[in-house]
Amino acid sequence: MRGGAQSQLMRCEDEGYYVVKFQNNPQGPRILVNELLGTRLAARLGLPTPAAAVVEVQASLIEHTEDLVMQLGRHSARCRAGQQFGSRYPGSPAQTVAYDFLPDEQLREVANLADFCGVLVFDKWTCNTNGRQAIFFRARGEPRYQAQMIDHGFCFNAGEWNFPDAPLRGLYARHRVYESVRGMESFEPWLARLEEKMTESVLEQAASEIPPEWYDFQLDALEQLLEQLLRRRQRVRELIRAAWKSSAQPFPHWT
């Protein structure tokens, strides 16, 4: 697949297709932690995300598949066997096309456009240092596109696990998706869920699913990450307000 993590589209044992990120991807193994934790927490906030799974890739498959390699500068290395991160493809690639971008005119017709407000709450909370990314697809027989939020690899500032907040961070590149924003109330449903539902035990539960190899068995670092997330729940309103006040003016109808 396109993108810095050089992920691979793979059909898995459950017959589903997954976009798989490997432990030895060029961005480092913590990207996989961010993906699994990020996807679980986004779903818990009520956001549309693909199903996420830990995918076991066997050494024999890698040995017999020429394409399962990682390009690392001038060198290439085989993908590492073991537990990887998988993001479920909607349906089968032969029948459903998943687009990375839609032209502005078509963006307006996305059935769940308001979820981009919701995902901004998430991206401010987690300090996603990449622009927001989504896929768009039409389920069979559906006239309208659905958006699903993908790529949580750069939440918590990628492998750094710090939170360098900045006003424009986390915004979706096409500001059209924010046309409906009239004030902080446009973000309230997700702010309320963040404050009420994201308890310590919810975070611990999500973290317990992560293969320890992905964070090099540094349980302290993971615990610190969760603590920071808990503390940051109170800051999100302020971070959204800073985006509103910024020179980019992402919310033209918020006066």
Q: Is 151 in the site for ligand ADP (CB under 6 A)?
A: yes
| C-beta closer to ligand ADP: residue 28 or 167 | 28
Binding span for ligand ADP by CB under 6 A among 1-9, 40-48, 219-227, 233-241:
1-9
Name the minimum Å distance from CB 59 to Mg ion: 27
- Site map 64..93 versus ligand ADP, x via CB under 6 A: -----------------------xxxx---
- Site map 79..118 versus Mg ion, x via CB under 5 A: ----------------------------------------
Name the minimum Å distance from CB 247 to Mg ion: 26
Q: Which does 131 bind (CB under 5 to 8 A by kind): ligand ADP, Mg ion, none?
A: none
| C-beta closer to ligand ADP: residue 47 or 150 | 150
Query: What is the CA 155 to chain-centroid distance, rounded?
Result: 7
Tokens at residue 65, please?
Answer: 């598949």
Binding span for Mg ion by CB under 5 A among 36-44, 116-124, 127-135, 245-253:
127-135
The residue ranges that bind ligand ADP (CB under 6 A) are 1-5, 7, 19, 50, 87-90, 98, 100, 133, 135, 150-151, 153
